[in-house]
Amino acid sequence: MLSPKIGIAVLLTVLQVAYGQKVSDLTACLVDKNLRVDCRYENNTKSPLQYEFSLTREKQKHVLNSTMGVPEHAYRNRVNLSISHNYMALFLKDFSQKDEGIYSCDLRASGIPNSFVSKNITVYKDKLQTCGVMSLLVQNTSWLLLLLLPLPLLQATDFECL
């Protein structure tokens, strides 16, 4: 049996997670000559998510694809993006040393103040690895979430019984 204090703490954590937005992971790898940037996030809001992928190089920001700003013309033909509920994959065709820099994945829930979240990854051509089977497995973590989910729920239920 949990003490009421712990019960409240657990419940608060559950509530926080339920309303929070978070970029959980940002990774980069190579598929053939193309760069793939994977942005995984928690989408726990009912309102549509706004996003922006950008590259900052030599202190200059280049928007790659965005619902918040206008993508830079030079990148339009080289970039594509696929989106699922909690995952976005950006492809940049023919990645070269000129595309090295800080890649950012920014998210915001429309109409919700202070919901802006962001994550950065610095990409160097020499350090990039080929996208492997592992990253494909990691890509789908919903089964992990399903495994983890019952625990806080059970604890929260425990609190209600007190």
Binding status of residue 5 toward ligand NAG by CB under 6 A: no
Footprint of ligand NAG on 53-82 (CB under 6 A) = 56, 65-66, 71, 80-82
Binding status of residue 118 toward ligand NAG by CB under 6 A: yes
| DSSP3 helix / strand / coil % (the chain, rounded to 5) | 30, 40, 25
Footprint of ligand NAG on 122-161 (CB under 6 A) = 140, 142
Give the residue ranges of DSSP H helices in the chain.
4-19, 73-76, 133-139, 142-148, 150-161
DSSP line for 90-121: EEESS--GGG-EEEEEEEEETT-TT--EEEEE
The single-letter DSSP state of residue 58 is T
Distance in Å, CB of 71 to ligand NAG, minimum:
4
Binding status of residue 29 toward ligand NAG by CB under 6 A: no
Binding status of residue 85 toward ligand NAG by CB under 6 A: yes
Segment near ligand NAG (CB under 6 A); pick from 2-10, 13-21, 45-53, 145-153: 45-53
Task: Check: CB of residue 38 under 8 Å from CB of residue 128.
Answer: no
Q: Give the residues lining the site for ligand NAG (CB under 6 A).
A: 34, 43, 46, 48-49, 56, 65-66, 71, 80-85, 87, 91, 93, 102, 104, 118, 120, 140, 142
